[in-house]
């Protein structure tokens, strides 16, 4: 189970990042969004969206020295925040991800990574153009 974005039509409204951070923190705090919207302008009218796509070959899982990242049955890679020690601020999973799909929120807090809201993703609900789906 993972998210799929139709980035071509993204309006860069950021409602998905707002909903994600609201779910994670109870307020709008984009550092705690598992999604990052990156407009690639003006060279091309495209948007690059960074989020965890629960890679089959999950480099983050391999990189985690304390096994805080684990694959679960439905295919998601789940972070156990209690085990995570941020690699003493090194965030090896963040560096290992080739798609910038995991975020370092700073302040020594565990990394932020999409867990598809356990099957009820908030971003899917709020995207005005319904460009996000679960696959």
Partner 1 sequence: MSYGYFNKILVIDLSQKTTEIISLPEDYWRKHVGGKCLGSRLLLDYETYKEDPFSPSNPIILLTGSLTGSNVPGAAKASFYCKSPLTGVYLDSTCGGSVAFRLKASGYDGLIIMGKSAKPVYLVISEKKVEIKSAEHLWGKGCFEAESELRQEYGTQCSVAVIGPAGENKVKYANVHADFYHQFGRGGVGALFGDKNLKAMILAGEGVVPFYNPTELIGKSLDMVNQCRTDQKALFRGQYGTLSTLDLTQKLGIVSVKNHTDGISDQYEADLNRNYIKSNYVKRNLACFSCPVPCGKGSSVPYKGLTYLVGGPEYETMSLVGTNNDLNAEGTLYLNWLCDDLGIDTVSGGVTLACANEAFVRGDISERDLGFALGWGNVEGLAQAFKSIAYREGIGDLLAEGSKKFSEEMRLDLDRAIQVKNMEIPGYDPRGTTGYALAYAVADRGGCHRRARPVYKEQDDDEFRFSYKGKGSLVKELEDTRGFYHSLIICDFMAAVYPLKVKEYTEMLNLATGWDMDEAESMRVGERAINQSRLFNTLCGISRKDDILPGRFFKDPLKRGRAAGQVLDPEKFQEMLSDYYQVRGWTDNGLPTESKLDELGIQGGGLR
CA dihedral 105, 111, 112, 113 (to 10 degrees): 150
Decide: is 134 part of the binding site for partner 1 (CB under 8 A): no
Decide: is 109 part of the binding site for partner 1 (CB under 8 A): no
User: How far apart are CB 11 and partner 1 at their closest, in Å?
Assistant: 4
Q: What is the CA radius of gyration of the chain?
A: 14
Decide: is 42 part of the binding site for partner 1 (CB under 8 A): yes
Q: Which among 110, 109, 111, 88 is positioned nearest to 101, based on CA atoms?
A: 111
Decide: is 14 part of the binding site for partner 1 (CB under 8 A): yes
Residue number with CB closer to partner 1 (56 or 89): 89
Residue number with CB closer to partner 1 (14 or 70): 14
Q: Which among 3, 39, 33 is positioned nearest to 16, based on CA atoms?
A: 33
DSSP reduced 3-state for 81: coil
Site track for partner 1 across 66-105, x = CB under 8 A: ----------------------------------------
Decide: is 19 part of the binding site for partner 1 (CB under 8 A): yes
For residue 19, the surrounding DSSP H or E stretch is helix 15-25
41: tokens are 């302008």
Instruction: Report which DSSP code applies to 129.
Output: T
Among 1, 15, 61, 96, binds partner 1 (CB under 8 A): 15
Q: Which among 73, 59, 76 is positioned nearest to 115, based on CA atoms?
A: 76
Residue number with CB closer to partner 1 (22 or 59): 22
Which residue ranges make up the site for partner 1 (CB under 8 A)?
8-9, 11-15, 18-19, 22, 25-31, 36-45, 122, 125-130
């Amino acid at each position: 189970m993972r998210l799929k974005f139709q980035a071509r039509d993204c309006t860069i409204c950021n409602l998905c990042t707002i909903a994600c951070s609201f779910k994670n923190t109870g307020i709008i705090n984009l550092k705690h969004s598992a999604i990052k919207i990156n407009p690639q302008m003006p060279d091309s009218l495209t948007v690059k969206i960074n989020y965890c796509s629960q890679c089959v070959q999950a480099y983050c899982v391999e990189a985690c020295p304390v096994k805080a990242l684990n694959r679960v049955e439905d295919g998601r890679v789940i972070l156990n925040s209690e085990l995570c020690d941020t690699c003493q601020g090194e965030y090896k999973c963040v560096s290992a991800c080739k798609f910038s799909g995991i975020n370092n929120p700073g302040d020594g807090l565990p990394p932020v990574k999409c867990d598809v809201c356990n099957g009820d993703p908030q971003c899917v609900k709020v995207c005005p153009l319904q460009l996000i789906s679960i696959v």
